[in-house]
Amino acid sequence: MAILVVAAHDGKTVRANVANAVAAASHMGSDVHVLVAGSNAGDAAKSAAAIQGVAKVLQAEDAAYANWLAEDIAPLVVKLAPNYSHVVMAADSVGKNIAPRVAALLDVAQVSEAIQVVSPDTFVRPIYAGNAMATVQSSDKIKVVTIRPTNFKAVAGSGSAAIEQIGGAGASGLSSFVGAELSKSERPELTSAKIVVSGGRGLASGENFKMLETLADKLGAGLGASRAAVDAGYVPNDYQVGQTGKVVAPDLYIAIGISGAIQHLAGMKDSKTIVAINKDEEAPIFQVADYGIVGDLFQIVPELTAAVDKK
């Protein structure tokens, strides 16, 4: 049976993590379909068709799908699901919102944030903030799975899958979209950036984060933060890296004024190279850092910014 990947998109292109979900799905079976539901989602459907490994794209047009409300999208997925062995979504804020609703409507369990597909019914997933790895086996007929994008590399190349138009299921009338307050940034998106510069409570103010912005821009990096920095209002919520924020795995993660609580480590310890800048040499972040530098960030960060300039 085929696998259905449910794609989030902005109307123009599907999110980058859809290619990761397709890569994960290809370990569950060979025939991967992508559902692109939306209002004027033609371009997004085309972008899905161009992902390597996609056999078919289902485009569902309905005004109700414009803003990805779970109450409206879930019934559509549920209607399609009996033709599939698996329903797969990336474990981002869209997937986490919709997949459990789909699973419950199908009366099946859901597997959250799989990091490895052992076999079509067996998955590895982190529990306890990544301090333990559980191998779990699902006995349900349809398996609803969210996958952690950073653990599945998109397959190289491009495809040209057929796009099939399917009808929408209409609006539930339960919820409506009012508006969004999105953080505007020219910087690379946190979860796909090659380099991430991240700041914690040690920055002491939102104003001081400007210093990290300068460094990030020099490196072409995305900007992240600890929960403490978000709670204190230094930066918006979507900067939070960790167990209950975003999971990142860049080539280089620079933790600045972050102590390294397990909840923070859960979101970044799969980074290839980790750098820690902290004035406390006992800070737990040094236990996972490849390169640590003990000292005052207010002195080190400007020095570092100047040094990366000099080739």
Partner 1 sequence: MKVLVAVKRVIDYNVKIRVKADNTGVETANVKMSMNPFDEIAVEEALRMKEKGIATEVIAFSAGPAQCQETIRTALAMGADRGILVQTDVELQPLAVAKLMKAVVDKEQPGLVIVGKQAIDDDSNQTGQMLAALLGWSQGTFANKLHVADGSAEVKREVDGGLENIKIKLPAVITTDLRLNEPRYASLPNIMKAKKKPIDVLAPDALGVDVAPRIKTLKVEEPPKRKAGIKVKTVAELVDKLRNEAGVI
Please, which of residues 21-80 interact with ligand FAD by CB under 6 A? none
For position 245 contacting ligand FAD by CB under 6 A, the verdict is yes
CA distance 15 to 166: 21
Determine how many CB atoms are found less than 10 A away from the CB of residue 109.
Answer: 15
Give the x/- contact pattern for partner 1 in 133-162, rule: CB under 8 A. Answer: xxxxxxxx----------------------
For 31, the 3-state DSSP assignment is coil
CA 21 to CA 19: how far, in whole Å?
5
**Does 244 help bind partner 1 (rule: CB under 8 A)?**
yes
What residues from 46 to 75 belong to the interface with partner 1 (CB under 8 A)? 69-71, 74
Place of tokens 């979507």: 238
Residues with Cβ within 8 Å of residue 255, at least 6 apart in sequence: 198, 200, 268, 274, 275, 276, 277, 278, 285, 289
Q: Which is nearer to ligand FAD, 84 or 253 (CB)?
A: 253
Residues in region 203-232 near partner 1 by CB under 8 A: 219, 227, 230-231
Contacts of 8 (CB under 8 A, 6+ apart): 14, 15, 17, 18, 68, 89, 90, 92, 94, 95
Cβ atoms of residues 65 and 171 within 8 Å: no
Q: How far is the CB of 46 from ligand FAD (least distance, A)?
A: 35
Does position 244 interact with ligand FAD (CB under 6 A)? The reply is yes
| Shortest distance (Å) from residue 183 CB to ligand FAD | 17
Single residue of 200, 219, 222, 289 touching ligand FAD by CB under 6 A: 200
- Residue 261 is given by DSSP the state -
Q: Is 242 near ligand FAD (CB under 6 A)?
A: yes
Span near partner 1 by CB under 8 A; candidates 32-40, 44-52, 159-167, 271-279: 271-279
Pairing relation of β-strands 122-127 and 116-119?
antiparallel
Q: Which stretch binds ligand FAD (CB under 6 A): 4-12, 82-90, 149-157, 253-261?
A: 253-261
Q: Which stretch of DSSP H or E encloses residue 34?
A: strand 32-38
Binding residues for ligand FAD restricted to 124-183, rule: CB under 6 A: 127, 134
Using the rule CB under 6 A, which residue among 55, 206, 298, 305 binds ligand FAD? 298
Could you tell me the two tokens for 202?
């040690």
The DSSP annotation for 52-72 comes to TTEEEEEEEE-GGGTT--HHH
The residue within the footprint of ligand FAD, chosen from 38, 190, 278, 286 (CB under 6 A), is: 278
Interaction between residue 267 and partner 1 (CB under 8 A): no
Positions touching ligand FAD (CB under 6 A) are 127, 134, 200-202, 226-229, 240-245, 257-259, 261, 263-264, 267, 278-280, 283, 296-298
